[in-house]
Amino acid sequence: MGIALIWSVIAFLIRWIFSKRRGAISYDSSDQTALYIRMLGACVIFKQLFSRDVRVRSQVGFEPERRGSHPYLGVDFRTLHSRAESAGSIPARRIRRLFSFQRHLLSSRLLRGVPHQNPLHILDEDYCGQARCMLEKVGSWNFDIFFFDRLTNGNSLIYLTLYLLNHYGLIELFQLDMVKVRRFLVLVQEDYHNHNPYHNSVHAADVTQAMHCYLKEPKLAKSLTSCDILLGLLAAATHDLDHPGVNQPFLIKTNHYLASLYRNTSVLENHHWRSAVGLLRETELFSHLPAEDSVNMERQLGSLILATDISRQNEYLARFRTHLDQEELCLGNASHRHFILQMALKCADICNPCRPWELSKQWSEKVTEEFFHQGDIEKKHKLEVSPLCDSSTNSIADVQIGFMTYVVEPLFAEWARFSDTRLSQTMLGHLCLNKASWKALQPEEAEFEQDGGSRALPQGSVES
C-alpha cells in the first residue's frame, strides 16, 4: 500500500512537471535518442528519478556530478543575462499579463466558436490591430522588429511566422493543423532565452523577416518550391533555438556536455537543429505526412541550420563564389536551390549591419553586450578571454567595424552578384553608411573611456 502511494505521488509530480514544460530536446546524431531535457524547477525531482538516463538543468545550474565538468559550470546560462527588475516595472508587467490573458482567452473562444461576452476583448483586439497593420508591410527592409515585438507583447516570433505561413499559403497547402502550428510556434518562442541580449526570440523574428525579404527576390520567387519556402521559414525561426548566450569555444573549453555530444563540431548549430526536431515531433506538426517526407524535412532543416555556423563561413563563401564565377547555378536543380536557401539564411542571420542605422545600432549594442558578458565570465573563472569579448580592449565600434569588414561585406557582395536587385543595393548602401558611422564614433568612444566614463554597454554580455 505504501509503495503504491509513493508511485502515485511520483506519477503526479511527473505530470505536474510536464504540464509546466519549458525546454528543448537534443537528439544524438546517430540513433535519435533523447539525451537532454531542460525544464525549469525540475532538477531535484529528476535527479532522484532519472539520474542515470536524463541530463537536466534547473535554475540552480548544471548537475555538479557530471564528470569532466569544471566547477564553474554551476552557472545557469538561461539566467546569465537576467536583470533585477525594479519595483516600478511591476505595473507594466501586470498590464502585459492582462494583454496575454485576454489574447489567450480571445483565441480560445474563437477556436471554440464562442461569441464575445466581455467588452475587454476590444482593448486586446485594438492592441493586436496595430501589429496587423505592421504585418501588411512585413516585406519592407525597414521593418522595425523591436517596435513590432512591443506591439505583440513580446510575441513577435509567433505572430510574424504564423502570418508568413498563411501569406505563402503553406498551412492550407501542407494541410497543417492550426492548433499544432500555434503550439509549435509558442514552444519555439519559449525555448529562446529572452534574457539573452541578442540571441533571443526577437533575433529569430528578425531573421525570419529578412528571410521573407529574400524569398521575394525575383530569382528565388520564380524558382523555389512551396517545400523550399516552408523549410526556409522554419529554419529562420528555429536557427538559434535554445541558444545559451555563450559561443562554441566557451562550451568547448569548459567541457560542456553538448560539446562532447557533438564532438566539438558545430556544437550550437547541431543543438539548435535537434531542439527544433524535438519540437516538431513533440507537437506532431508533420505527423500526417508520409514518414519518409517527414524525415526528409528534418534532414533538410538541419542542413540549413548547420550552414549558419560562422566558423564555416569561408567554406560556404568560397563555394558560392565558385558557382557565381563559373555561372553554373541552376535553380531548377534541387541541390542548387537548397544551397541558395543556405546562403539566404546565412545572409539573414548576419544582416543587422545592412539594416537602417537606427535598427542596426541597436543590434550592434546587443550583440556586443553578449560578447562582453562572456568575457567577464571568462575573466572571473581565470579562462582565456575569447576574441572580441574583452571589454577593456575592445569597443562596440571596433567589434562592428571588424565584423563588417571581414564577415559581412564579403558575403553580401557575393549575394549582390547573385541577386543584383534594389534590395541588394539597399543593403550594401546601409552597410557602407553604418560602417562609416561606427568609424566616426571610434575617437569619441576612446576619448570617453580615457576620461573614465563608463562604456556604452554597462551590462555587457555575449554572442555565439
* pLDDT for res 130: 87
The contacts of residue 185 (CB under 8 Å, 6+ apart) are 157, 158, 161, 162, 237
Q: Is 243 a residue of the active site?
A: no
CB 156 within 8 A of CB 128: no
Residue 130 labelled as part of a binding site:
no
Residue 400 labelled as part of a binding site:
yes
Model confidence band, residue 7 (pLDDT cutoffs 50, 70, 90): low
* pLDDT for res 460: 32
CA distances from residue 308 to 91, 270, 345 in whole angstroms, order as listed: 39, 10, 7
The predicted model gives 51-68 an average pLDDT of: 33
Residue 203 labelled as part of a binding site:
yes
H/E run at residue 26:
strand 25-27
pLDDT, tens only, 133-156:
999 999 999 999 999 999 999 999
pLDDT surpassing 70 at residue 437: yes
pLDDT, tens only, 241-269:
999 999 999 999 999 999 999 999 999 99
- Domains in the chain (CATH in brackets) are 122-346 (1.10.1300.10)
pLDDT, tens only, 442-456:
876 555 455 554 443
Neighbours of 55 (CB within 10 A): 19
Residue 200 labelled as part of a binding site:
yes
Residue 81 labelled as part of a binding site:
no
Sign of the CA dihedral with 287 first, then 288, 292, and 294 last: negative
The predicted model gives 291-313 an average pLDDT of: 97
Which of 199, 212, 256, 271 is labelled catalytic? Answer: 199
Residue with grid cell 554597462, as numbered in its chain: 458
Q: What is the DSSP string of 386-443?
A: PTT--TTT--HHHHHHHHIIIIIHHHHHHHHHHS-SHHHHHHHHHHHHHHHHHHHHHH
Residue 349 labelled as part of a binding site:
yes
Residue 116 labelled as part of a binding site:
no
CA distances from residue 45 to 4, 14, 357, 396 in whole angstroms, order as listed: 18, 9, 49, 43
